[in-house]
A and B are shown apart, each in its own frame.
Chain A
């Protein structure tokens, strides 16, 4: 079956690195995504990784993909208060996205 799991909360101090983890079940997913949701808003695509890649770096963001363990992580370097939001991972299956529950990131000054 299709299932994506994330921990619900993460709290870090400003300037530290944040690591948000995600596990998925469908090994046929072509793309895996990270979306960000700020309070009262819709979801915005943060980054994505193609399933044949192990790592993708985009400025302060690093995505790691372990296909063997079906594990995806998002690392945010030098976390800022503006990074406080809910982060969703999602796997792509035949044009549909299956989302995790979302991880609420709280950044303390």
Chain B
């Protein structure tokens, strides 16, 4: 069965360190997304990609970067981790089609809980 996985599931790091969170999907979807989830804010979009070599900034992109070298993976990098980046991070993928029932339904990974000390 197709799936979307994230690793690690839990990570503790120190302020100033570089951290990379992995996201891998076997849906063969063109679209991939990174969100962070914080109490009272729901899910906020960090970065997204509509295909290989395409990346775009979301509403909370400062301090984060992504790269898309293949269809399956969209790693999220925190260049210099800050305590404000302590959060739960979700990766999602979709294959937008206006003719498909459900349109741009996104499929979510299980999340990565990141703590920055």
Contacts and interface: CB of A to CB of B under 8 A. Distances in A.
Contact of B98 (A30, A33, A44, A101): A30
Nearest to A29: B103
Interface in B24-49: 31, 33, 35, 40-45, 48
B79 to A, nearest CB: 24
Interface string B75-94: 00000000000000010101
B105 A45 contact: yes
A99 B103 contact: no
Q: Is the interface of A mostly helix, strand, loop or mixed?
A: strand
A42 B58 CA distance: 20
Contacts of B92: 43
A92 B42 contact: no
A50 B103 CA distance: 9
Contact of A43 (B41, B90, B98, B104): B90
Contact of B103 (A31, A42, A98): A31
A97 B106 contact: yes
A95 B50 contact: yes
B108 A30 contact: no
B63 interface: no
B31 A95 contact: yes
Given A95-B50, A96-B45, A96-B48, A42 B94 contact: no
Contact of A88 (B42, B58, B104, B109): B42
B42 A42 contact: no
Nearest to B90: A42
Interface of A: 4, 6, 8, 30-31, 33, 35, 40-45, 48, 50, 88, 92, 95-102
Interface of B: 31, 33, 35, 40-45, 48, 50, 58, 90, 92, 94, 96, 98, 102-111
3 closest A-B pairs by beta carbon, nearest first, are A42-B108, A101-B42, A31-B103
